[in-house]
Amino acid sequence: MKKNVLLAVTGSIACSKAELFIKQYKNQYNFKVISTYNALQFLSDEFKNSHRILSDWEDLEGTPHIELARWTDLFIIYPATGNVIAKIANGIADDLLTSTSLMFGSGIYICPAMHEEMYLNNTTQNNLKKLSQNNFIVGSRYGDLDIGDRGYGRLIEPLDLKNNIEKSLGKVIVTSGPTLEAIDDVKVITNKSSGKQGRAIAIELTSRGYETIYIHSSQITPIPGIENVEFTTSSELLTTINEHVVGTDYLFMTAAVADFTVEKQSGKISRDSGNIHLNLIPNIDLIKSIKQNNKDVVTIAFSAQINDDLNFDKIKRKNCDYLVINNILDNNFGSDFNKIKIINKNNLVYESDRKLKSDIAYELIDVLL
């Protein structure tokens, strides 16, 4: 039996993708279209002439927001502008679309589409975080934007939306950011990892429709709309992965795990104590440990190196499926750019040019998945 889909469109140039979504999947869903007044300016005449578009209260009888909410199995806002996102997040119901969303309640698929500065604005991110508690935030992804720009805020493609609805592509864990190993109750040993590459990978996987769990350092900003889990130490990271790994298809081990832990001292070590000696203890190999107990999980490890060597010994030692090599002399920590090589246990699989980490994420997923 086909599901009833209420597809809501808002005032964005990306409305053409909503038209395409209906055209491609009209045989799989029963569609009704609801629109803001501004969205009507972006819909094609052909689409408006061939579909009944519900927009103006005066054109409808009875209580359409109630009837539509009760008819709908899937409520999708595609595209969702920053304005409509802000209204829904704050319970504003001043037109048919926002009134219907308030009536529908939770479980709305919200697909942001706007310029990067608007999307990354703290107000928008806070609104998305608020909405993600009871709804599905789908995208947005990195790519071409209006006026020739590139950045986050691009509306996902119709196929990506369908995959997000059906969640049929599989479950993925992405780890990101540095571990922090305590020296005392104040000081830590850590590294310069920014977590940007792992975050870009998690965003791209989510946009494509994978069920993504983002396990990130406590210093890293969460991603709205997906499951975020924080870690601090390497032992916490291992415990968290083990708690979520059952049923996982792919593990992207992007987190920069400390090579050593240290014997922690209570309180705060004072400089008045003079010279101190830290006892550095070699850390366990998290990837090797995880892979031993989860042989079916395709594991992608990341190796920060000071050379371009194809480290086949390392990938065999860790028993991971792929190793992504990053020369940190060419790619400074914290940079928005990266250049990588991907190997399996026998061969070089892929080598990139130096690109934005968002573009690297896109290509990496195309190669491996």
Report the pLDDT value the prediction gives residue 160, as an integer from 0 to 100. Answer: 94
pLDDT in tens, 162-204: 999 987 799 999 999 999 999 999 999 999 999 999 999 999 9
* Segment 78-84 mean pLDDT: 98
Please, what is the average pLDDT of the chain? Answer: 94
Interval 334-347 mean pLDDT? 94
Res 140: pLDDT: 85
The pLDDT confidence band at residue 333, using thresholds 50, 70 and 90, is confident
pLDDT reported for residue 248: 97
Give residue 107's identity as a one-letter amino acid code.
G
Q: What is the pLDDT of residue 274?
A: 84
Residues 38-57: pLDDT tens digits? 999 999 999 999 999 999 87
Per-residue DSSP letters for 212-274? EEEEEETTSPP-TTSEEEEE-SHHHHHHHHHHH-TT-SEEEE-SB--SEEE---SS---GGG-
* 240-262 pLDDT tens trace: 999 999 999 999 999 999 999 99
Q: Which residue shows structure tokens 């789908």?
A: 138
Average pLDDT of the residues in 86-108: 96
* Res 331: pLDDT: 79
What are the backbone angles phi and psi of residue 236, rounded to the nearest 5°? -65, -40
DSSP secondary structure of 281-338: EEPP-HHHHHHHH-TTSEEEEEEEESS----HHHHHHHT-SEEEEEETTTS-TT-SEE
Closest CA to 96 of 36, 31, 10: 36
Task: Tell me the pLDDT band of 295, cut-offs 50, 70 and 90.
Answer: very high
Whether omega before 79 lies within 30 degrees of 0, making that bond cis, reads yes
pLDDT of residue 224: 83
Given a cut of 80, whether residue 72 has pLDDT beyond it is yes
pLDDT band at 330 (very low <50, low <70, confident <90, very high): confident
| Mean pLDDT of all residues in 310-334 | 90
CB 34 within 8 A of CB 100: yes
Nearest to 18 by CA among 53, 64, 57: 53
- Burial code (b: 16+ CB inside 10 Å, e: under 16) for 309-335 equals eebeebbeebbbbbbbbbbeeebeeee
Q: Is residue 277 pLDDT above 80, yes or no? A: yes
> pTM for the complete prediction?
0.85
Mean pLDDT of 328-332: 81
Q: Count CB-CB contacts under 10 A for residue 68.
A: 24
**pLDDT over 70, % of the chain:** 100
Question: What is the per-residue pLDDT for 360?
Answer: 95
How much is the pLDDT for 148?
85
At residue 260, the pLDDT reads 94
Enumerate domains of the chain plus CATH numbers. 3-166 (3.40.50.1950), 171-368 (3.40.50.10300)
Single out the residue of 323, 326, 328, 333 nearest to residue 360, CA to CA. Answer: 326
Q: How many whole angstroms separate alpha carbon 332 and alpha carbon 308?
A: 15
